[in-house]
Structure 1
Amino acid sequence: MSSGRSLREILDLVADTARSLLGFDFCGVLIPDGSGRNLVIEGWSGLSAEYVARVNSDRPVQLRGDGLHHAPSSQAFRSGEPVAVRDIAGEPQFTPWGGVAEEQGYRSMLSVPLVAGGEAVGTLNSYHSVVHDFTDNEIERLTLLANHAAIALTSARMVDELQQLNVSLRRQRDLLTKSERIHERLLTVALRAGGIHGIVTTLAELVSRPVLVEDARGTVLAQTGPVTDLPGADVRAALPLHGDQSEPHVLGAGLVREQGGYLAATVQLAGEIVARVWLPRGAAGFSPLDERALEHASIVISLELFRLRTGTEVEHRLRGELLADILSGASAESRPLRERADRLGHDLSRPHTALVGQLDMATESQRPRAYERALAVVSEFAAAYTPRPLVAMHQGAVVALWPLDGARTGAAAGPVGEAEHVGAIASSIRRAMASVPGAEGATVAVSGTEQQTFRQAYRTARGALNVALRTGRCDIVVTPDDLGVAGLLLQLNDARQLVAFADRTLAAVREHDLRRGTHLLQTLRVYLDSDLSRTEAAQRLNVHPNTVSQRLRRIEVVAHIDLSAPATIVEVSAALLLLDVAEGGQSA
């Protein structure tokens, strides 16, 4: 019991002791198998290995079934009482084991239960090679030995479980130690500014296979190893980033799924999936240490992306402050402003055009995140041009001051004119903004290629955007030339002149709305856009036609005009157009 021997050695010792002390020809110890349905021989003395193997594999002692056909060992185990068989040849229930018994050479047997803690844990079987009548003294002595053997069996099992637990603990300790070393190695790469590529290279060495990392848009951030061993764009696109795929395998850093013979581990940042790590599964599969390496790499990649995102947010803030100062009227010729722009990679001495983009959102709750992504994709697009355009958020829209003589880095010069060049850029920006999640479209307005100050260019583009949206022209690229008279008016230097002209007709209506919180000016605008149809205007305003009629009469009274006169309609339409243009221009 205290020898520290294995379970098998203890059971062999029990069988050998019973055989030598009590004079049996053969002895065996039977215990339940892993399923708990059969008794199998686990320790023996005098029995041949062939006999033991045949009984255990072909004729195990069943513990369940019809009680009339239980083997002696099964009866002893279930009843907790000794079972003796004088001559096995005369016992019908022993028929299944008759052949092997004859080969082994025994004719009689005694099976006593091994009982520990009031529960049978096995049987001790003893055999004679001849027919034998077992005496009470023999049964008593074998039972006494079985009681001690049951305690030894229980203790041996406990020792065996403790040994297995120690082995498991040592393995976990070794795995934890190696895991810590892996994490330190990957973290060291990140801290030494190795970047995503350095992390990927280190991970590839740890797991002995090529690695690819892509961001949430499917753009490859880094890869190492033969390209042919890595998943192509079609394989990566076939596994949706947020899809509910079957049979995921969860690691500490995120979700790992299989696609086309490759593993894809998600990289999360603040609960958002920001990247995926791809690598071949391999014929040998993934070891626990490989899983730890992938888990730690995902965490370190998340930290690196957080660092990059933080740096990007700082750049966006600095560019936003620079843009706000420029558009507020600060002189682009001032030395402090030029130095700030130079540090950010912008050359304010060149002529620029202004582009202003606005998203068409499905839900307002997604607007902040959608604009954050839109700014990121437009900034990424602009970063490929020299000199670098100035891109930032300003007054709820994505604004870009784009050098007219800029060129895409590495692109060959072509015969494309400035207007066509700016138009192509605006179209690319519109498509990029419209592609962000949650956006149903994007409208981009361009100031044109005429020489203007930064403030004038922005005012023109912003005004064109506002006029286009108010007239229902969405998800397009718009220029002042596309807006006719409104586009011409947008290029006036002083928007206050337009407001003054419009107010000659509509000042009283504007003041009435401001003072009383009414919607007379909106009603007038919708009425004109509805081709003077009060029914259609009512539908668009979601009110009764009588309400529209009442509001129009109120407008006539307040403004002292007659809306039934064609000249008045022309005058009012012109005033509303001037207000659209003026309000757009005053957005700067």
Structure 2
Amino acid sequence: MTSRDTELRPSAELLTWLTSLRTLSAAAASGDGLREVLDLVARTARSLLGFDFCGVLTPNDAGTSLLITGWSGLSDEYVARINADRPVGLDSTAPSAQAFHTGRPVTIRDITAEPQFTPWGGVARDQGYRAIVSVPLVAEGHVLGTLNGYYTPLHTFTQHETERMSLLANHAAIALTSARRLDELSRLNESLRAQRDILTRSEQIHERLLDVTLRAGGLDGIARVLAELIGRPVLVEDARGTVLATAGDSARLPAPDWTTTATDATSSTKPVRVEDGQHPFWVASVRLDGEVVARIWYSGDRGGLDQLGERAVEHAALVISLELFRIRTGVETEHRLRGELLAELLTPGSEVTEQLSHRAQYLGHDLARPHIAIVGALGATEEDVSTHIYHRALTAVSDLVRPYRPRPLAAMHHGRIVVLWPIGSETETSTGTTIVLSEQQAAERLYTVMNSVSPTTAASVALSTHDKHGTYAQAYRMARGALDIALRAGRSGTVVTLADLGLTGLLLQLDDPAQLLAFADRSLAPLLAYDRDHRTHLLETLQTYLARKLNRAETAQELHLHPNTVKQRIQRIEHLTRTDLADPATVVHFSTALTIRGVATADSSSTP
């Protein structure tokens, strides 16, 4: 080997450096964990530069302090004490903080002579070092942290030493950047894999719940599968608090009468934690067309669910909404079929044909049985309540009559809920007892159910009398007429019978409204004609005068008139009709005529 070959051959120290840097670069690119790369940086610096201890410091998540995240030679106790009790604040005068902010090396020959190092003097003595050098780790113009070297004895750092330390720090910063990016990619990949697994499992959960509905498992089947998926008992109730399905240990479920008082906290589709005073529960709402139609309750004695458990509840809510939509569609179809049947039965002059009887029998009704008619209204007028509320009320009424045999026929007709109730219809309780409601009891049950639909809307119900020879149309005319007359008189929010209406109720039972109206028209014709020709209010004055028992002062007060004006109108009425209102027979005559006119008007408004 020539002398020139010897000059060109790298020195042993350079080979060591090159090998170490190659190892460091390979580790950063190999996908090793960030902690392993940081420890390797510290070991390499300690090995190449001869430090007693080495450490790599990087900012914490908040960016307020530097923590030791890689080390060589330092004890685990020292690292833990520094990181937990004495972190290097970035706003301090510590050499690491100075190097981080200035981007230049900082050296201390003797830490005991430096006041700014006092906070770390105790742990430094325990570790056993006196001298320190801190070099910034700079990559792509950004300071990533510092590389620190420690000597046990006093040590004066030369420029050559700091330059070598900086050279190593530059390579270490590049390796640290690569390791961080790989670590971020690894975490991202893990997150993506976790999300993929969750999505896959979520799809399996959804398919399993959907399979229940496809196999006609109903709400009970959905509740059972959900309880199995989340490992907790489940209760499903509708928006009114009626239990639709349960699964699992009922002792760990909320009492149904309590859940209705907790609705303010249960409008969220995400599970919300509520307490009944002793036990925690979780509840999520089921929505359909933006409306809360059901709620899912499950026990919260083991805290909240994990992500998959919450997904299971979300999917269950979706499947329950689909099942309720299917039920609602079936209910609407049922309402339509029963409404068509009812409309045919209430048509004046219609007969119960064999075909009509078969249709009714298919729907569970026996038209051979005598029926009474019960008519219900929500609010004082048809415009007071939305159609949606009426549909809810009809569904509630249909649920009420469903267990009875033969089944009462309930449907909407001309803006009212109409029920044809078979005399003697019966049902059995859970104990096997047979219940037969009287006509009055049936009407009161319907009244109670209709009132439960809306807390702000009062129900009114009227019923006809039992006439085994009467038609369905006649029974309906009586009940509808009684209801309309009661509402006009301000008698809403109650159950009205024909007997409650006195003479009016008796007249409603007469089956010749045309003759009744003709009598009323003959008696009141002069007043009707005069009011029409002169735009006066004689008929209204007469009606009020009779209602106020011939008291002119009270009549004037109610009509907002002067008593003399009332006197003049009464004289005009007597002149036109050639009567004397001081005669009791005349009072009865006009009172009857006015009542008949009201009955006939109510009858005409209720005719299909």
Compute the TM-score of the two structures, normalised by the length of structure 1: 0.90
Q: 1:345 to 1:474 in 2, by over 3 A?
A: same
2:516 maps to 1:495? no
Distance (whole Å) between structure 1 residues aligned to residue 311 and residue 55 of structure 2: 46
1:315-354 matches, within 5 Å, as 315-329=334-348, 331-354=350-373
2:42 maps to 1:15? yes
Aligned to 1:283, the other structure's residue is in SS state coil
Contact 1:373 1:436 in 2 (8 A): yes
2:282 maps to 1:263? yes
Give CA deviations for 1:336-357 in whole Å, capped at 9, x if unaligned. Answer: 2111111111110111111111
Distance (whole Å) between structure 2 residues aligned to residue 144 and residue 535 of structure 1: 113
Give CA deviations for 1:372-393 in whole Å, capped at 9, x if unaligned. Answer: 1221111111112110001111
Q: 1:412 to 1:59 in 2, by over 3 A?
A: closer
Contact 1:264 1:277 in 2 (8 A): yes
Query: Deviation at 1:571?
Result: 2.7
Distance (whole Å) between structure 2 residues aligned to residue 154 and residue 538 of structure 1: 97
Give the structure 1 partner of residue 446 of structure 2: 429
Give the structure 1 partner of residue 113 of structure 2: 90
2:203 maps to 1:187? no
Matched AA of 2:89: Q
1:502-521 matches, within 5 Å, as 502-507=520-525, 509-510=527-528, 521=539
Distance (whole Å) between structure 2 residues aligned to residue 319 and residue 208 of structure 1: 43
Aligned to 2:287, the other structure's residue is in SS state strand
Matched AA of 2:118: T
Give the structure 2 partner of residue 396 of structure 1: 415
Compute the TM-score of the two structures, normalised by the length of structure 2: 0.87
Q: 1:455 to 1:288 in 2, by over 3 A?
A: same
Give the structure 2 partner of residue 115 of structure 1: 138
Give CA deviations for 1:319-352 in whole Å, capped at 9, x if unaligned. Answer: 1111111110364431221111111111101111
Give the structure 2 partner of residue 463 of structure 1: 481
Over the residues paired in the alignment, what is the CA RMSD in angstroms? Answer: 2.8
Q: 1:103 to 1:156 in 2, by over 3 A?
A: same
Give the structure 1 partner of residue 19 of structure 2: none
Distance (whole Å) between structure 2 residues aligned to residue 127 and residue 453 of structure 1: 109
Contact 1:87 1:108 in 2 (8 A): yes
Q: 1:304 to 1:330 in 2, by over 3 A?
A: farther
1:571 to 578, 582, 589: 589
Aligned to 1:125, the other structure's residue is in SS state strand
Give the structure 2 partner of residue 448 of structure 1: 465
Aligned to 2:262, the other structure's residue is in SS state coil
Contact 1:390 1:402 in 2 (8 A): yes
Aligned to 1:218, the other structure's residue is in SS state coil
Aligned to 1:385, the other structure's residue is in SS state coil
Aligned to 1:24, the other structure's residue is in SS state coil
Give the structure 1 partner of residue 307 of structure 2: 288
Give CA deviations for 1:58-83 in whole Å, capped at 9, x if unaligned. Answer: 22111225xxxx21111211222211
Give the structure 2 partner of residue 167 of structure 1: 190
Distance (whole Å) between structure 1 residues aligned to residue 530 and residue 333 of structure 2: 44
Matched AA of 2:80: A
Matched AA of 1:78: H
1:6-405 matches, within 5 Å, as 6-64=33-91, 70-240=93-263, 243=264, 251=270, 256-260=272-276, 261-283=280-302, 285-329=304-348, 331-360=350-379, 364=383, 366-405=385-424
Matched AA of 1:147: N
Aligned to 2:439, the other structure's residue is in SS state helix
Q: 1:53 to 1:539 in 2, by over 3 A?
A: farther
Which of the two has higher C-alpha Rg?
A: 2
Q: 1:530 to 1:178 in 2, by over 3 A?
A: farther
1:509-548 matches, within 5 Å, as 509-510=527-528, 521-522=539-540, 524-532=542-550
Distance (whole Å) between structure 2 residues aligned to residue 548 and residue 150 of structure 1: 106
Contact 1:257 1:265 in 2 (8 A): no
Distance (whole Å) between structure 1 residues aligned to residue 534 and residue 569 of structure 2: 16
Bigger mean CA deviation after superposition, 562-571 or 387-396? 562-571
Q: 1:168 to 1:193 in 2, by over 3 A?
A: same
Aligned to 1:264, the other structure's residue is in SS state strand
Q: 1:388 to 1:332 in 2, by over 3 A?
A: farther
Count of aligned residue pairs for this structure pair? 572
Contact 1:332 1:338 in 2 (8 A): no
Structure 1's unaligned 5+ residue stretches are: none
Bigger mean CA deviation after superposition, 177-186 or 426-435? 426-435
Structure 2's unaligned 5+ residue stretches are: 1-27
Distance (whole Å) between structure 2 residues aligned to residue 539 and residue 147 of structure 1: 102
Aligned-residue identity in percent:
53
Query: Deviation at 1:115?
Result: 2.2
Matched AA of 1:314: T
Distance (whole Å) between structure 1 residues aligned to residue 557 and residue 203 of structure 2: 67
Aligned to 1:440, the other structure's residue is in SS state coil
Aligned to 2:296, the other structure's residue is in SS state strand
Query: Deviation at 1:250?
Result: 5.2
Q: 1:21 to 1:324 in 2, by over 3 A?
A: same
Matched AA of 2:433: A
Matched AA of 1:453: T
Aligned to 1:258, the other structure's residue is in SS state strand
Query: Deviation at 1:447?
Result: 0.9
